[in-house]
Structure 1
Amino acid sequence: MSTVALITARGLFGRRRALLLLPLPLLLVGLAAICRAYGVSPDMWGTAVIVGLGTSVVLPVVALIVGTGVLGSEIDDGTIVHILTKPLPRRDIILAKYAVAASVTAVTTAVPLYLTGLLAGSAKLGAALAVAAVVGALAYSALFLLFSLVSRRPVLLGLVYILVWEGLLGNFVSGTKILSVGQYVATIADKMAPTTIIESSVGLTTALAMSAIFVVLGTIFAINRLGSFSLAGETS
């Protein structure tokens, strides 16, 4: 499993896709730094930058790029066949891919979110955002890894989830919030460091439990889905 994880990490950072991970986190920290440099109160920019950009855009988009990239590209170019011919359980393949996706997403998003919270004047808020980002990375990665196995256009499917389900419906239909990873992230951060910048719509217990469900069910379904692939890379 460690060999698969190492190959996956090399493949991920060896593609141009890896360059897509940098602009959004840099933009997030840059905007916060500019506001801090000009003495703008965090109450005026915190919600727009931290929530509107950080937890609602940077975190899910980075997770989408990485989560669909660790396996989706291999399915597209047919190299998945080489992995499937190895004497490895499908479980180990998925767990290795998931570990890489979740780890890369967590680091790439938790660090800039921590810095943004720190620039907002609170190390506690920065730590809360970092922890919430890690939990969000775990849940999003499981979901988007599954998308790469159930759709030929996983990025499009992921964007529909982010923009339509979490963005559009999440703001107007209260029932959708219980299935929104973005809401779990907001809740965890808000409960750890209560602030007017972040508003949560679900309970902490619900956020933690649903995050765990996303991770467990997403991984199980991904393992089962990969198990249905034939050596031609098509589902049976």
Structure 2
Amino acid sequence: MSTVAFITARGLFGRRRALLLLPLPILLVGLALLCRAYDVSPDQWGRAVIVGLGLTVVLPVVALIVGTGVLGSEVDDGTIVHILTKPLPRRDIILAKYAVAATVTTVVSAVPLFLTGLLAGSAKLGAALAVASLVGALAYSALFLLFSLLSRRPVLVGLVYILVWEGLLGNFVSGTKVLAVGQYVVTITDKIAPTTMIESSVGLTTALVMSAVFIVLGTIAAINRLGSFSLAGETS
């Protein structure tokens, strides 16, 4: 399992895709620094930068790039066959790749979100954002890893989920918020460090329970889906 995780991490950072992880976090911190440098009150930029960019764009997009990258390319080019021929349970393969995806997503998103919260004037807010991004990374990674096994266009499917389900429908159809990871992240942040810059739309219990549901069911579904792959790289 550790060998699979090492190979996955090496492959992830060895591709150009890894470079896509940098611009959004840099933009997030850069905007916060710019507002701080011009002495703009966090009440004026906090919601747009922290929620509108950080929690709504940076976290899910980073999770999408990483989550679909740890396995999707292997499915596309057929190299997944080499992994499946190894004497490893399918469960261990998925768990190793999920661990890499969740860890990388957490680090890449939590650090800039913490710095942004700190620049907004509160170490507590920064810590809350880091904790929330950890939960979000776990949930998003399970979902996007599953997408990479269900579709040949996992990035497109993931973007539809982020932009349409969480973005468009999440703002106008209240029922969709219960199935939106982004709402759980906002709620967790709001409950740890209440601020006028962040307003939650679902309860904390709902956020925690549904995050666990995404993590557990997404991982189990991914394990079952990988189990349906034959050695020819096709699904049975």
1:76 & 1:169 partners in 2: Cα distance? 31
The CA deviation at 1:218 is: 0.1
1:66 & 1:234 partners in 2: Cα distance? 23
1:139 & 1:169 partners in 2: Cα distance? 19
Give the aligned partner of residue 106 of structure 2: 106
1:165 & 1:181 partners in 2: Cα distance? 10
The CA deviation at 1:132 is: 0.2
2:100 & 2:234 partners in 1: Cα distance? 24
- State the identity as a percent: 88
2:29 & 2:134 partners in 1: Cα distance? 17
Give the aligned partner of residue 25 of structure 1: 25
The CA deviation at 1:130 is: 0.4
The CA deviation at 1:232 is: 1.2
CA deviations on 1:186-227 (whole Å, 9 max, x unpaired) are: 000000000011110000011001000000000000000000
Unmatched segments (≥5 aa) in structure 1: none
CA deviations on 1:84-113 (whole Å, 9 max, x unpaired) are: 000000000000000000000000000000
Letter in 1 for 2:187: T
Give the aligned partner of residue 220 of structure 1: 220
The CA deviation at 1:151 is: 0.4
The CA deviation at 1:122 is: 0.4
1:91 & 1:181 partners in 2: Cα distance? 24
The CA deviation at 1:13 is: 0.3
Equivalent runs, 1:5-24 vs 2, <5 Å: 5-24=5-24
Aligned residues: 236
The CA deviation at 1:31 is: 0.2
Give the aligned partner of residue 93 of structure 1: 93
Give the aligned partner of residue 42 of structure 2: 42
2:192 & 2:235 partners in 1: Cα distance? 43
2:40 & 2:102 partners in 1: Cα distance? 34
CA deviations on 1:99-135 (whole Å, 9 max, x unpaired) are: 0000000000000000000000000000000000000
Letter in 2 for 1:148: S
| Pair 1:141-2:125 in alignment | no
TM-score, with normalisation over the residues of structure 2?
A: 1.00
| Pair 1:131-2:113 in alignment | no
Equivalent runs, 1:167-182 vs 2, <5 Å: 167-182=167-182
Give the aligned partner of residue 166 of structure 1: 166
2:233 & 2:144 partners in 1: Cα distance? 19
Give the aligned partner of residue 153 of structure 2: 153
1:196 & 1:54 partners in 2: Cα distance? 16
Q: SS of 1:152's equivalent?
A: coil
Give the aligned partner of residue 115 of structure 2: 115
2:63 & 2:123 partners in 1: Cα distance? 24
Letter in 2 for 1:227: G
Letter in 2 for 1:163: L
Q: Provide runs of 4+ in structure 1 moved above 6 Å.
A: none
Letter in 2 for 1:131: V
Give the aligned partner of residue 210 of structure 1: 210
Equivalent runs, 1:191-202 vs 2, <5 Å: 191-202=191-202
1:101 & 1:229 partners in 2: Cα distance? 21
2:231 & 2:20 partners in 1: Cα distance? 31
2:137 & 2:76 partners in 1: Cα distance? 24
1:38 & 1:66 partners in 2: Cα distance? 34
TM-score, with normalisation over the residues of structure 1?
A: 1.00
2:11 & 2:48 partners in 1: Cα distance? 34
